[in-house]
Amino acid sequence: MTHSNGSTSNPIGSPARRLTLALIITLAFVVIEVLAGLWSNSLALLTDAAHNFTDVIALALSWVAVRLVLRPAHARRTFGYHRAGILVALINSGTLVLIALGIFYEAVQRLIAPPPVAEDVLIVVGLIAVGVNLGTAWLVHAGSEHDLNLRSAFVHLMGDVLSTIGAVLAGIGIALTGWHVLDPLVSVLIGALILWNAWLIIRESLSILLESTPRDVNLSAMVDDLLAIDGVRGVHDLHVWSISQEVRTLSAHVLTDDVPLSTGAQIQRRINSMLHDKYRIHHSALQLECADCGPGDLYCDLNGHNHDAPPTLTNPH
């Protein structure tokens, strides 16, 4: 059995400092926005303030996860704390769902009986909020493409950018038409946007926690690539999963000829190089077996019911 570890980007340092700064700015603005929303009687502003408060929680949790990932692996956590970020992403997206449901409930009440809204306050505070949210979103954007934890925080903040733009448009619409119903209508659109983004993060978080094959990995193509490597005669007991969004792992039994240990090591290096370069798999556990060993199953059934599983794929050459 061999293990190949690739380097992954260190999420601590600059991202942690940016999360801290974004948290402080967001918390300060939440207080301002709540006061403005109560003064203007604007649900759109209060909605945005509530969403901003979930951002405070999301940023705090993301900061904790970033710190946890730094901790080294040990006997009780042999993969370290990489999954901490996935758990935080799931929690953050769950708060998004709850806040969206609350927005829908309050918006329905105001659609039934729309109260008057001070549109001038709504517009001014909304414009300030756009700038604040854009700034905090920029602070946590670095690394969010490849880190689900940072992405969940970034989605929280970008949701605020779009919702505050919506609040400003609602204020302008009310000023031009006098239709106060625009305020709860914008809130419904904000809630729908929040809910959709929350679902995307929940889906990916659950996929990682259930150790599903990464969405961009085609196992059939991977098997073909493995069989194309010189010295590989077959593959079975193949598993590919993610520890975090960027840390991918693979385990497989690889059939070879009855070759010397040094030749087997060369085969392993070729396999690891291909997996790293083509599939971004940084950690692989390979067990080489001579072709005389009996064939297993391509995907090992951990329940022991292997009779319906596909057979080992072998190289005919």
96-148 confidence digits (pLDDT tens): 888 788 888 888 887 887 777 666 776 777 788 788 878 888 877 776 666 77
Same domain, 82 and 185: yes
Residue 2 placed within a domain: no
Q: Which of 189-198, 202-211, 272-281, 291-300 has the lowest mean pLDDT?
A: 291-300
The span from the CA of 224 to the CA of 232, in Å, is: 11
Same domain, 203 and 74: yes
Specify the pLDDT at position 5.
41
pLDDT at 64 over 50: yes
In total, how many domains does the chain have?
Answer: 2
Could you read off the pLDDT of 47-56 as tens digits, one per residue? Answer: 767 767 777 8
Q: Which of 149-153, 185-189, 215-219, 236-240 has the lowest mean pLDDT?
A: 149-153
> Which tokens is 87 given?
């758990």
Same domain, 35 and 170: yes
Specify the pLDDT at position 296.
54
**Structure confidence at residue 195 as a pLDDT band (50, 70, 90):** confident
pLDDT, average across residues 210-223:
89
**Structure confidence at residue 224 as a pLDDT band (50, 70, 90):** very high
Same domain, 200 and 246: no
Same domain, 166 and 45: yes
Same domain, 229 and 287: yes
Mean pLDDT of the chain: 78
**Structure confidence at residue 12 as a pLDDT band (50, 70, 90):** very low
> Which tokens is 197 given?
């983004």
CATH of the domain at 274: 3.30.70.1350
Place of tokens 């590989």: 232
> Which tokens is 73 given?
């692996």
pLDDT, average across residues 246-267:
90
pLDDT at 300 over 80: no
Domain-ending residue, one of 209, 231, 247 = 209
What DSSP element (H or E) covers 250? strand 248-256
Residue 145 placed within a domain: yes
**Higher-confidence position of 54 and 299:** 54
> Which tokens is 17 given?
């400092």
Nearest 5°: the CA angle 291, 297, 302 is 130
Same domain, 152 and 283: no
CATH of the domain at 159: 1.20.1510.10
pLDDT at 66 over 70: yes
pLDDT at 247 over 50: yes
**Structure confidence at residue 309 as a pLDDT band (50, 70, 90):** very low
Same domain, 159 and 236: no
pLDDT at 95 over 90: no
Residue 4 placed within a domain: no
Give the percent of the chain with pLDDT over 70.
82
Same domain, 202 and 307: no
* CB under 8 A, 24+ apart: contacts of 256-265: 256/231, 256/232, 256/288, 256/289, 256/290, 256/291, 257/231, 257/233, 257/290, 257/291, 258/290, 258/291, 258/292, 259/231, 259/290, 263/231, 264/288
**Higher-confidence position of 310 and 253:** 253
Same domain, 183 and 252: no
Domain residues for the domain of 111 are: 9-209
**Higher-confidence position of 140 and 292:** 140
Specify the pLDDT at position 164.
74
Residues in the chain: 317
Q: How many helices, marked H, and strands, marked E, lie in the chain?
A: 8, 5
Residue 55 placed within a domain: yes
pLDDT at 269 over 90: yes
Could you read off the pLDDT of 136-190 as tens digits, one per residue? Answer: 888 777 766 667 777 777 877 777 777 777 778 877 887 888 787 787 888 788 7
Specify the pLDDT at position 187.
79
Same domain, 147 and 57: yes
Residue 3 placed within a domain: no
Domain-ending residue, one of 191, 209, 227 = 209
Amino acid identity for residue 103 in this structure: I
DSSP per-residue codes, 82-124 = THHHHHHHHHHHHHHHHHHHHHHHHHHHHHHSPPP--HHHHHH
Same domain, 179 and 229: no
Place of tokens 């493409």: 145
pLDDT, average across residues 294-314:
51
Please tell me the chain's helix, strand, coil percentages from 3-state DSSP, rounded to the nearest 5: 60, 10, 30
Residue 114 placed within a domain: yes
Residue 197 placed within a domain: yes
Domain-ending residue, one of 148, 177, 209 = 209
Rounded alpha-carbon distances, angstroms, from residue 143 to 5, 17, 40, 96, 149: 20, 13, 38, 21, 10
Residue 214 placed within a domain: no
